């Protein structure tokens, strides 16, 4: 019985290690055929992550316990490599690499779940053998062996349930990440969306939101901001800064005041759409940060804008670069 307990403890440790493998995915290059066609251009970090994740998984339990899921992940990595090697747009390569990395995570989880199922089958077989021995044991030995059996069954069932819960939790997390990414891409229809060091920056033309020289939102501007609020809520808990900008026409003081009033107007509307007031602030920068020349009408129109800077508190590990616009 002591030997059986030691074997069970060892099985638990191996199963826990397999599950923890899903959290050890880091960035490095795959070797062999997966590198074909990568050229001399630097691959996106997301592609490095997917390659390394697949290498780790192919050398672990997934190769034996979840070959079908691992092959699906391999194909996804190869498609991302082919897209990169053929010169596809970086955003496309990044999206494909992200999908590949998620497929690897699914394969690793499937391997852990398969191991738990095998453990449970082995425990059930050992239970049958133990029952046969119990028939010839004394009453004292019978009570002791039954107690050990129940403990083993309870531990195996708990492990199995934990694997199922972990797999369900991961799928829910992936679904939430997909919704957030889709919502962010939809903002490209409203304005420019790009990722900078200061966060995700959504730029909306001032002419869409306000009449000339005014700070009250136009009906069209409210419609656009409703879509922005929906996308921001999909991003989860985030800190948001609303920046108002103007061109250089008119007194500098007046421009600064107008930019602040406009930023505050946008902030108030987003709060009315469900954004937590504690998570959003407004600032007016006037003509201080032009992104085009103020010497032309076109340049001045570009400079008259509102920028929404988003910093998710729980930022996903993937990198996406420019989203659109």
Range of the domain at 197: 192-312
279 and 215 assigned to the same domain? yes
155 and 293 assigned to the same domain? no
Is residue 317 situated within a structural domain?
Answer: no
- Mean of pLDDT values over 249-271: 95
User: Can you tell me which residue has the tokens 């656009």?
Assistant: 224
- Mean of pLDDT values over 135-158: 83
> Does residue 177 register a pLDDT over 70?
no
Residue 317's pLDDT is: 44
CA 289, 291, 294, 297 torsion-angle sign: negative
Q: Per the structure block, which two tokens stand in for 105?
A: 């995570």
Is residue 12 situated within a structural domain?
Answer: yes
* Closest by Cα among 16, 24, 42 to 104: 24
pLDDT digits (tens, 9 = 90+) for 79-123: 999 999 999 999 999 999 999 999 999 999 999 999 999 999 999
Q: Determine which helix (DSSP H) or strand (DSSP E) holds 202, and give its type and residue range.
A: strand 199-205
Q: How far apart are CA 15 and CA 286, in angstroms?
A: 59
DSSP 8-state secondary structure symbol assigned to residue 218: P
| Residue that finishes a domain, picked among 157, 184, 211 | 184
Is residue 320 situated within a structural domain?
Answer: no
133 and 249 assigned to the same domain? no
Q: 12 or 49: which carries more pLDDT confidence? A: 49
> Cβ(46)–Cβ(94) under 8 Å?
yes
pLDDT band at 181 (very low <50, low <70, confident <90, very high): low
134 and 223 assigned to the same domain? no
User: Can you tell me which residue has the tokens 């809520």?
Assistant: 233
Is residue 207 situated within a structural domain?
Answer: yes
68 and 147 assigned to the same domain? yes
DSSP 8-state secondary structure symbol assigned to residue 178: H
Q: Per the structure block, which two tokens stand in for 15?
A: 């199963």
| Residue that finishes a domain, picked among 184, 203, 232 | 184
Is residue 322 situated within a structural domain?
Answer: no
Least confident of 15-19, 129-133, 182-186, 269-273: 15-19
177 and 269 assigned to the same domain? no
Coil, strand or helix at 167? helix
> Does residue 15 register a pLDDT over 70?
no
| Residue that finishes a domain, picked among 117, 150, 184 | 184
> Cβ(282)–Cβ(260) under 8 Å?
yes
> Cβ(12)–Cβ(152) under 8 Å?
no
pLDDT band at 143 (very low <50, low <70, confident <90, very high): confident
Burial 127-164 (b: 16+ CB within 10 A, else e): eeebeeeeeeeeeeeeeebeeebeebeebbeebbeebe
> Cβ(154)–Cβ(191) under 8 Å?
no
126 and 205 assigned to the same domain? no
Q: How many Å separate Cα 81 from the centre of its chain? A: 21
Residue 307 CB partners (closer than 8 Å, separation 6+): 201, 202, 203, 204, 242, 243, 245
Count: domains in the chain? 2
Q: 278 phi and psi, to 5 degrees?
A: -70, -15
pLDDT digits (tens, 9 = 90+) for 36-75: 444 457 899 999 999 999 999 999 999 999 999 999 999 9
Q: How far apart are CA 18 and CA 112, in angstroms?
A: 5
Is residue 318 situated within a structural domain?
Answer: no
24 and 159 assigned to the same domain? yes
95 and 215 assigned to the same domain? no
């Amino acid at each position: 019985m002591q030997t059986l307990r030691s074997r069970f403890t060892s099985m638990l440790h191996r199963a826990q290690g397999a599950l923890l493998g899903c959290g050890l995915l880091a960035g490095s290059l795959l070797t062999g055929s997966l590198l074909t066609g990568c050229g001399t251009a630097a691959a996106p970090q997301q592609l490095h992550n997917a390659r390394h994740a697949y290498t780790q998984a192919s050398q672990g339990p997934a190769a034996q316990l979840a070959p079908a899921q691992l092959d699906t992940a391999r194909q996804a990595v190869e498609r991302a490599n082919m897209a990169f090697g053929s010169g596809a747009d970086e955003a496309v390569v990044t999206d494909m690499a992200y999908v590949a990395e998620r497929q690897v995570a699914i394969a690793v989880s499937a391997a852990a779940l398969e191991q738990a199922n095998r453990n449970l089958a082995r425990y059930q077989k050992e239970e049958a053998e133990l029952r046969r021995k119990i028939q010839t044991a004394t009453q004292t030995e019978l009570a002791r062996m039954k107690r050990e059996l129940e403990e083993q069954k309870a531990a195996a069932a708990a492990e199995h349930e934990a694997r199922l819960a972990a797999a369900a939790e991961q799928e829910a997390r992936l679904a939430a990440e997909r919704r957030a990414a889709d919502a962010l891409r939809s903002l490209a229809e409203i304005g420019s969306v790009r990722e900078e060091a200061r966060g995700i920056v959504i730029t909306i033309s001032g002419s869409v939101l306000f009449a000339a020289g005014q700070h009250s939102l136009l009906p069209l501007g409210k419609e656009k901001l409703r879509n922005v609020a929906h996308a921001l809520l999909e991003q989860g808990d985030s800190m948001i800064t609303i920046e108002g900008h103007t061109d250089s026409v008119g007194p500098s003081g007046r421009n600064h005041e107008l930019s602040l009033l406009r930023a505050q107007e946008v902030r108030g509307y987003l709060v009315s759409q469900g954004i937590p007031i504690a998570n959003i602030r407004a600032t007016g920068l006037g003509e201080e940060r032009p992104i085009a020349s103020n010497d032309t009408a076109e340049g001045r129109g570009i400079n008259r804008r509102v920028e929404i800077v988003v910093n998710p508190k729980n930022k996903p590990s993937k990198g996406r670069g420019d989203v659109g616009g």
